[in-house]
Every structure is written in structure tokens, then in C-alpha cells.
A and B are shown apart, each in its own frame.
Chain A
Amino acid sequence: MLRIEDLYAGTQGQDILKGIDLEIKPGEVHAIMGPNGSGKSTLSQVLAGNEAYDVTSGTVTYQGRDLLELGADERALAGIFLAFQYPVEIPGFSNEKFLRTAVNAQRRHRGEPELDAFDFAQLAKDKMALMELDPDLLNRSLNVGFSGGEKKRNECFQMALLEPSLAILDETDSGLDIDALRIVSRGVNALRRPDRSVLLITHYQRLLEYIVPDYVHVLADGRIVRSGGKELAAELEQTGYGWLEDMTAGEVAQ
């Protein structure tokens, strides 16, 4: 599905990602954890095609294609979806119009007929029920005045509508209450299929109890410094990231 090799990327001449290697196979769920500022969001933004970041070396292959060649919209049409850590507000653009345009962009790309407002309303109704989202949010401007939790659930709602092959969730669990966490997890699990993969960025083991990952990675200072199974998350919950400093000190000593 996705292979990242020795990826360096950053902004304003400063590398933030310093040699990432990661392979995600179809059907797998990978979790990325790591301290604040370690580069998790940067990785997700680079994968989604944010031109604010420069890739200075390395390769990213997605479904056999060179991902770095594609613009952000082409990546979206190829099945990559990023749930933003900080969803963007767009006053004056109704959530409904936004979502319908996004769904229709996908359908057009796949050669399917576009949905009119009525058909879309039917589709949206079911998925909103899944996310337990207030239907009124459809008529509001995109993310404007949404609560933190509503923004996150709206991201998941988009994911449910767009049915991506590779879903990247950047701290979608942060700021969610227990019920919302359960709902969001249900949304992700509903998406899981042998031909779809998920990359979860999170700070909390709790999410990983609902969405059980195949692999857990620790990102620190732009590199993956440890990988393991789901038990690694539990271990991190116990130990925190203090050991990272020892490790860096050890490297320096060498």
C-alpha cells in the first residue's frame, strides 16, 4: 500500500523528518506515537501533499506509484485521506456543499455519475447517524463555530463518505470525550477491509484499545526510533518518553 524510504522533509531549509522508513501493507493499521514536536503532523502533511513542506530526499511509493509526483488533489482521488489535527474553517462555504463537491470529485474520477443534492442527502444521513453528528452541522459553514469534538467527528464523517484506501488520522482522538472516542473508533473500524490501511497518529493508548493496531512506531526528532506490536503502546503509557533522552545521549556518546 505505502512504502516510505529514507524520507527527509522540512521547511525553510530545516529538516523536520530526518530519514523515515515505514511500510504499510494492505489491511494493516499502524499507529505512530511520539513526543510533541517530533514530526508526526509533518509526516501526515507531507503524505497528503502539503506544498509548504519540501521533501529533500527519499521516496514514497503508494500503490506502486511515486506519491511525491502527485498533487494533493490527485492523492485524494487516488484514495489517500488525511483527518487533520486542526481542521480548517471556511466561512461562507456550507459543509453540505463542501462534502457533496468532495464526494462528486471522487465519483467523477471513478467515472460514476455525480450525486445531486437529494441523493447526497440520503447518503449523508446514514453516515451522519454512524458518527452521531447533528444534521444541522450540514447547513453550517465548514467547521466554523464547530466545537473541537464536532470538528474531529466531521473529519471522520468525511472519511466515511470518501471511503479512502489509506486513511491517515492525525490525533483525531485528542479532545474527544469517551462517547465520541467510541463513535470515532466505530467509524474507523467500519472502514477496515483487507484492501484498506490506516495510519493513526495518537498520544493515547486508549484509542488503540478501540482500534487495535498491527504495529506501533515511536517517532522522535524526525525518525522512527522504535517499532513494535500493540503492547508497545501500553509500555509507553507506563514509561513515557524519558528513555528517549538516554538513547540520544547514548548515541552522542558513541
Chain B
Amino acid sequence: MKTASPDKSLIYQDVFSSGQAAEPAWQRYGALREQALAHLAAHGLETRGDEAWVHGSAGGLAGGEALPVSGLRQTTATGPAALARSHRLVFLNGVFAPERSNVGELPAGAVVQPLSTGGETAQLGGLPVTEATGLVALNALFWRDGLRLELDDNTVLDLPVELHFINDLAGKPGLVPTRNLVQVGAGCQVTVIERHEPGASKLIEQPLTEVICGVGSRVDHIKLVGGAAAGEHFGRTQVVQQQDSRYRSWEIVTGGHLARREIHLELAGPGAACDLNALYMGRGRQRFDLRTRVAHNAPGCTTRELYKGVLDGEARGVFDGLIRVARDSQQTSAHQTNRNLLLSDDAVVNSIPRLEIYADDVKCSHGSTTGQLADEQLFYLRTRGFSPAEARTYLAWAFASEVI
């Protein structure tokens, strides 16, 4: 145990041990849960001093007050409007809500269903975990449901898989972990959209998605954290890419009092490419932490990363990105860019772009800029009849448009 302050993870270990017998969801994936329990017992949760929180904020997780909620409750919350055509799964407080979902027809070789149904899948929890491992263990202990998407080789889903995570604990504190598994075989193509609305204050949602991209597959992954509510969001995506696969990600974060998004991605096979995009737009006292960890563990792989932030009011943002190129990963191309626009003097951003390169035949770059709206641009728009507010809005959107 490395924590000096009382270890909040003890509370969580107790909740799990005393509740497991009564919670059918926690009885599934027993090995995964035992492993998580052992991890928490040995290491505890990360605390402020740990690498995981050096620049970010643990928010309500540091307090240990938000306990995992049990089961579905009634809610009138509707969540975001659904797409006209999609395979849609809705989760209320972390539990599948069949009456709101519509998976529809699927091609042969495709499984799109809640994790709570069907047999256990061996792949779940199989990806190597680095950093903030206590957080991952917390999710592993308590998740009840989420998406299970499995595609046999050469399966193409024309419609996107759309996930809605709607949380409503009637103002009470609570922790809502969810778990998704996306496993696609060789030559598959699919788009997955995660839509999160963190819910009211003191509510903490903690989705974790594992993505396994087979040889030559194409996976597009859109993650939206929106809504007006003041809850907290700790989201993580773990990706492993096999040879010649392409993974593209868009993280659009506008909602929540505190939102932390992490991508941990391994380029495991030669010729794989990832394209990571994010836009975080905060105001008031919102706080967004965006973190990426990309490991180039095979030759000839490509990373292109563009993270953009627009912060107004007293909003704070953190971009912490690391691309690590292993010794034998020659012909790597890796470019990481973070750009921030501060709309007020009280908005703050902390940008830490990093490259660690152990191979010699590589093309890599990283860069970070933080600036304010240019007076000349504002003036130019005003001479064309734009009010000051309109001019600012259009310029902020112009800045953001590169990502979306």
C-alpha cells in the first residue's frame, strides 16, 4: 500500500465483498473481479501524488463517497436524441434498458448485445493495463453491463452501433461503471458511437471500452461527453491494433463538471494506423483532462493525433499525450498536435505533448499552442456586422472545425 492518507479503496473492497452474493451482475466474470479485488488490496487507488493525477484531478473519486449504484431505477431522463438509423443500445444507470434499445437486424457473423446476456467472453479484460490501474480495477469490480460487439472476419456493419449511457440517481451520489468490448476480426468495418451524459453532480460515471482491431480492419469510434449536467466522467478506451488495421477516434467533450478521457492504444502489428482526434469545449468551472498513450510496438505504423481545446470562463483543461516508439519500430510516422484557444483570462490549459523514441528510422513531430482570439480577426468580423459575441462564437467554431 503506497498511500499515506486513509485508503478509499478499502471502502470499495468492502462494498464488493459484502454485496457480491446479492448482485448477479457481480457474480459474472468472477476471475476478472477477483483479480481487481486483489489489485486494490495490494495497491489501493491512485492518489493525488501518483503519476495518474499529476496534472489531472481525481474529482469525487478522491473522496470515496460515490458508491456503486445497484440496478436500474426509474428515470424520466431522456438522454440525447437517437440517430435515425443505428443499432442502438441504451443503458440506464449502467444497466441495459431493452425498452429503449433497438438493435435491429444484423448481418451474419455479428454479435451486438449487452454484456449481461449470453456466455462470458474470454477476451474481456484481456488487454494489458498501464497507468491508473486502480481506476481500472474499480471499473472491473463494479461494472454491471455494457456493449458486447463481436464481428467475425470480413463482417461489415453498415449502420453505426450507438450506445446511450443515461444516468439519473435523483441527486444522490453514486458511481456508475460500465464496460464495453469491441472485438472485430480481420477485414471488418464498424463505427461505434458512445454518448455519455454524466448526470447530476456527485454522480460519477466510469465507462471503460476495450477495442481489438483485427488484421486490416477499420474501426471508427466516436465518444461524446455532453449534456448540461454537473456530474463527473472518467472514461477510458484501450485499443490493440493488429497488422494494417485502422482505428480512428473522435472524442468530443463538452459536458460534465469534470471529465477525464484516456486512450491507451497499442500498435501491435506492422502497418497499423491510428488517427486520434478530440475537441474539448469548456466554460464556467468545467475541468477536462485528455490523456493519450500510444505505443508503437511494430514497424511501419502511423499515428496522427489532433487534440483541440476551447476554454472560456474559469474552465481548465489538460492535454497529456505520450507516443512511445519501441526500438524495433522502424518507419514509424507519428505526429501529435495539441492546440488550445482560451476565450477568457481565467481559463487555463496545461499541455504536455511527449514523444519517446527508441527507434532511429522515424518521422515524428509534436507541437502545442495555446492562444487567444486574434484581435484582427475579431475586428474584421465586426466590420462586416458581426456583434462581438457572434464574432467570438464564429471564431471559436472556426478553430474547432478542424476536428469535426
Using CB atoms and an 8 Å cutoff, list the residues of chain A in contact with chain B.
48-52, 71-73, 75-77, 81-82, 84, 87-88, 90-93, 98, 101-102, 105-106, 109, 141, 158, 162
Contact = CB atoms under 8 A, between A and B. Distances in A.
B386 A92 contact: no
Contact of B384 (A51, A91, A98, A141): A98
Q: Name the interface size band of chain B.
A: 20 to 34
Contacts of A72: 379, 382-383
A106 B383 CA distance: 11
Contact of B401 (A51, A75, A92, A162): A92
6 contacts: A73-B382, A88-B376, A93-B397, A101-B384, A105-B384, A106-B385
Contacts of A102: 384-386
Given A50-B379, A84-B380, A92-B402, A73 B397 contact: no
Given A52-B375, A71-B388, A73-B388, A91 B383 contact: no
Interface centre among B376, B384, B388 (most CB of A within 10 A): B384
Contacts of A105: 384-387, 390
Given A52-B375, A73-B387, A73-B388, A91 B382 contact: no
A90 B398 contact: yes
A72 B388 CA distance: 9
Contact of A92 (B384, B388, B390, B400): B400
Given A48-B383, A102-B384, 12 more contacts: A52-B379, A71-B382, A71-B388, A76-B385, A88-B380, A90-B380, A90-B395, A91-B402, A98-B381, A98-B394, A101-B386, A105-B386
Contacts of A84: 380
Contacts of A52: 375, 379
B16 to A, nearest CB: 48
B399 interface: yes
B17 interface: no
B377 interface: yes
B384 A158 contact: yes
Contacts of A77: 385
SS of B interface (majority): helix
Contact of B385 (A50, A73, A90, A91): A73
- Ranked nearest first, the 4 interchain pairs of A and B with the lowest CB-CB distance are A105-B385, A92-B398, A72-B382, A93-B398
B398 A76 contact: no
Nearest to B391: A73
A93 B386 contact: no
A49 B394 CA distance: 20
Interface centre among A76, A106, A158 (most CB of B within 10 A): A76
A91 B398 contact: yes
A92 B385 contact: no
A85 to B, nearest CB: 12
Contacts of A92: 397-402
B383 A76 contact: yes
Contacts of A141: 398
Nearest to A161: B384
A166 to B, nearest CB: 12
B382 A76 contact: yes
A72 B384 CA distance: 8
A65 to B, nearest CB: 17
Contacts of B397: 92-93
Contacts of A50: 379
B384 to A, nearest CB: 4
Nearest to A158: B384
Contacts of A158: 384
Nearest to B374: A88
A238 B141 CA distance: 88
A105 B386 CA distance: 7
Contact of B383 (A49, A93, A98, A109): A49
A220 B379 CA distance: 26
Contacts of A93: 394-395, 397-398, 401
A178 to B, nearest CB: 28
A171 to B, nearest CB: 16
A75 B382 CA distance: 9
A224 to B, nearest CB: 23
Nearest to B389: A73
Contacts of B375: 52
A168 B402 CA distance: 33
Given A84-B380, A90-B377, A73 B400 contact: no
A218 B42 CA distance: 84
Nearest to B403: A92
Nearest to B385: A105
Contacts of B379: 48-52, 72, 88
A73 B384 CA distance: 7
Contacts of A87: 380
Interface in B364-380: 374-377, 379-380
Contacts of A101: 384, 386, 390, 394
B387 to A, nearest CB: 5
B399 A109 contact: no
A171 B260 CA distance: 51
A81 B193 CA distance: 46
A98 B382 CA distance: 11
A81 B383 contact: yes
B292 to A, nearest CB: 23
Nearest to B384: A102
Interface centre among A52, A71, A98, A141 (most CB of B within 10 A): A98
Contacts of A90: 377, 380-381, 395, 398
A91 B391 CA distance: 14
